A and B are shown apart, each in its own frame.
Chain A
């Protein structure tokens, strides 16, 4: 009997090589072949590094007001000039990036957690659980996200929530808006996966529902989750910027890209001092585009079915 077995496996030394490199390494290699995606990734990494490490090297890393150097255009000392309170714009853009990127990341993590958990549960258990979860999701989806966020933001201002907490509340708000579409996708995947034969095999092995859910089903949707999560970061950054621009998100003096662009609201600043609002605007633009390009590349690699 064992001689037969040897015969079967003997045929594949190439197979042996392949077994060593895991699925992840293969995906990685395919991703690296996609030039656009790599560029996106590099830009995102540079952005993160600049924002989180950059301000450390800046001599102007405080919100201190310098009345004598107000509204200077870019020069050798202040590469992107100074704002109306004499603060270095470059330093502030980088500090703002910290907040914007953190908010984007954190709200992504939160909405992926909520969305995938609820989606998995709804898709697996079906019936009443599914109905309840999905109707709540539908409800949130029917109301356009932006007005909802505006109302939340206005309420926060009304209740005079301390500015240092607003950042965290904005994260939660964004993830509340973000989870329903994610939960829907995950649920759809679950509905089809749970009927697959290997799930019946898992049932027959006497595995518990919890084990089947998190050990057998969830790994099957990880590629999908990674793609959605990546694209979600870009969306969240954009949303946060919009909110902060309207003064309903994170409040000054804490800088975010959104509330820095607020300078463009002032006619004088808009016409005469473009160094105040172009850098944060450009930062948002570049970051979100880079994240989306990278996310699309990831999708091509991890989700070959969606390829055109």
Chain B
């Protein structure tokens, strides 16, 4: 097993007054060393919650990792104490967020914010940390690092701030980088630069990336392996070229169809009919059934399991479980 991150049957629940919301419902995923895994899905499908569960950011009393295990490099993250978790965060697992503008503390200089994890995790002296920080700022493609070092976040643009966030994230040479929609808040030209940057660091340092996004373009560009989530469940997963060439689950098919194709006139962009089901009213069924073109009787009554449908591809759909359908 050369899995770096190994999530088995993870469930994360939130208690609300109306009932329990299963934001993440029994998902399993693996990230190998040096691999980029993308989680795709629309808003509210549980992709960010998955990331937060890994980082131990689910806050009680409302939220709770209700079951399953998250093994990282041989340790179960759900069982670590606060001290061990702190040592791991920022050091072995780093994370970057969607909004670079609000992810940096507005009253502390950029430099100090880069230096801080270096001093905490690597125990560098003030001078060494400063030198390293300057190097990092240069590495993420920002010139005049000394000056940026002394700036405050409001003095930089969103693209530069996201570069700084990446610099902070990679500062301690993490084994895994979780990127939660790192390019969503940026405009398209900057997006490409940021993705380039991530890819370069991944190749240089053999770091794994868990990339969370709703942008299939980003997936195509970055991913080795794709996981499609819907309503807290994994509906399909597979190696990226296979999945894009031959999507099995109707939801994945819908997602791919709702992407504009360059050089092809379309009157109207396809959109999947219907709405995401209310997470409070989920009955045992395929959660996608009322939006699905191929809905059958069994889809309304029983949950499909993830099943191998191709060489490196799995889907959770009754269409591919013949025995059940005809029973």
Those of A192-241 within 8 Å (CB) of chain B: 196-198, 200-208, 211, 215-216, 219-220, 222
- Are A216's CB and B108's CB within 8 A? yes
Chain A nearest CB, measured from B1 CB (Å) = 26
- Are A5's CB and B141's CB within 8 A? yes
Known contacts A8-B142, A197-B97, A204-B95; decide if A216 and B105 are in contact (CB<8 Å).
yes
Chain A nearest CB, measured from B268 CB (Å) = 36
A2 surroundings in chain B (CB, below 8 A): 138, 141, 143
- Are A204's CB and B102's CB within 8 A? no
Which listed residue (A5, A9, A197) contacts B99, Cβ 8 A?
A: A197
Those of A1-29 within 8 Å (CB) of chain B: 1-2, 4-6, 8-10, 15-16, 18-19, 23
Those of B68-112 within 8 Å (CB) of chain A: 85-91, 94-95, 97, 99, 102-108
Known contacts A16-B147, A200-B97; decide if A206 and B105 are in contact (CB<8 Å).
no
- Are B116's CB and A215's CB within 8 A? yes
Closest partner residue, chain A, to B148 (CB atom): A9
Interface stretch, picked from B193-201, B221-229, B247-255, is B193-201
- Complex Cα gap A10–B148 (Å): 12
Closest partner residue, chain B, to A220 (CB atom): B107
- Complex Cα gap A198–B155 (Å): 16
B325 surroundings in chain A (CB, below 8 A): none
| B: number of interface residues (CB 8 Å) | 46
A10 surroundings in chain B (CB, below 8 A): 143
- Are B103's CB and A201's CB within 8 A? yes
- Are A5's CB and B143's CB within 8 A? yes
- Are A207's CB and B116's CB within 8 A? yes
- Are B197's CB and A1's CB within 8 A? yes
- Are B155's CB and A1's CB within 8 A? no
B99 surroundings in chain A (CB, below 8 A): 197
Known contacts A200-B57, A204-B95, A208-B86; decide if A8 and B104 are in contact (CB<8 Å).
no
- B159 close to chain A: CB less than 8 A: yes
- Are A4's CB and B141's CB within 8 A? yes
- Complex Cα gap A18–B57 (Å): 36
Known contacts A4-B141, A19-B155; decide if A203 and B97 are in contact (CB<8 Å).
no
- Complex Cα gap A203–B120 (Å): 13
A198 surroundings in chain B (CB, below 8 A): 102-106
- Complex Cα gap A206–B172 (Å): 11
A9 surroundings in chain B (CB, below 8 A): 142-144, 148, 160
- Could you jot down 30 A-B contacts, CB within 8 Å? A1-B197, A2-B141, A4-B193, A5-B140, A5-B143, A5-B163, A8-B157, A9-B148, A18-B155, A19-B150, A23-B107, A197-B103, A198-B103, A201-B103, A201-B165, A202-B105, A204-B57, A204-B90, A204-B94, A205-B117, A205-B120, A205-B168, A206-B120, A207-B86, A207-B90, A207-B117, A208-B120, A211-B120, A216-B108, A220-B106
Known: A5-B143, A207-B120. 11 other contacts (CB 8 A): A1-B197, A1-B200, A19-B151, A196-B102, A198-B103, A198-B106, A200-B97, A206-B88, A206-B120, A219-B105, A220-B105
- Complex Cα gap A6–B160 (Å): 11
B117 surroundings in chain A (CB, below 8 A): 205-207
B163 surroundings in chain A (CB, below 8 A): 5
- B32 close to chain A: CB less than 8 A: no
B14 surroundings in chain A (CB, below 8 A): none
- Are B138's CB and A1's CB within 8 A? no
- Are A201's CB and B142's CB within 8 A? no
Chain B nearest CB, measured from A83 CB (Å) = 51
- Complex Cα gap A243–B141 (Å): 64
A16 surroundings in chain B (CB, below 8 A): 144, 147
- Complex Cα gap A201–B106 (Å): 13
- Are A19's CB and B147's CB within 8 A? yes
A208 surroundings in chain B (CB, below 8 A): 86, 120
- Complex Cα gap A16–B106 (Å): 18
- Complex Cα gap A182–B92 (Å): 40
- B291 close to chain A: CB less than 8 A: no
Closest partner residue, chain A, to B189 (CB atom): A4
- Complex Cα gap A212–B135 (Å): 25
Closest partner residue, chain B, to A199 (CB atom): B105
- B121 close to chain A: CB less than 8 A: yes
- Complex Cα gap A222–B108 (Å): 12
- B65 close to chain A: CB less than 8 A: no
B168 surroundings in chain A (CB, below 8 A): 205
- B244 close to chain A: CB less than 8 A: no
A207 surroundings in chain B (CB, below 8 A): 86, 90, 116-117, 120
Chain A nearest CB, measured from B222 CB (Å) = 16
Chain A nearest CB, measured from B4 CB (Å) = 18
B95 surroundings in chain A (CB, below 8 A): 201, 204
- Complex Cα gap A201–B168 (Å): 10
- B320 close to chain A: CB less than 8 A: no
- Complex Cα gap A125–B97 (Å): 24
Chain A nearest CB, measured from B5 CB (Å) = 16
A23 surroundings in chain B (CB, below 8 A): 107, 152
- Complex Cα gap A114–B19 (Å): 42
Max chain A CB contacts within 10 Å: which of B87, B103, B105, B200?
A: B105
Chain B nearest CB, measured from A206 CB (Å) = 4
Known contacts A19-B155, A206-B117; decide if A197 and B102 are in contact (CB<8 Å).
yes
- Are B116's CB and A205's CB within 8 A? yes
Chain A nearest CB, measured from B261 CB (Å) = 28
A220 surroundings in chain B (CB, below 8 A): 105-107
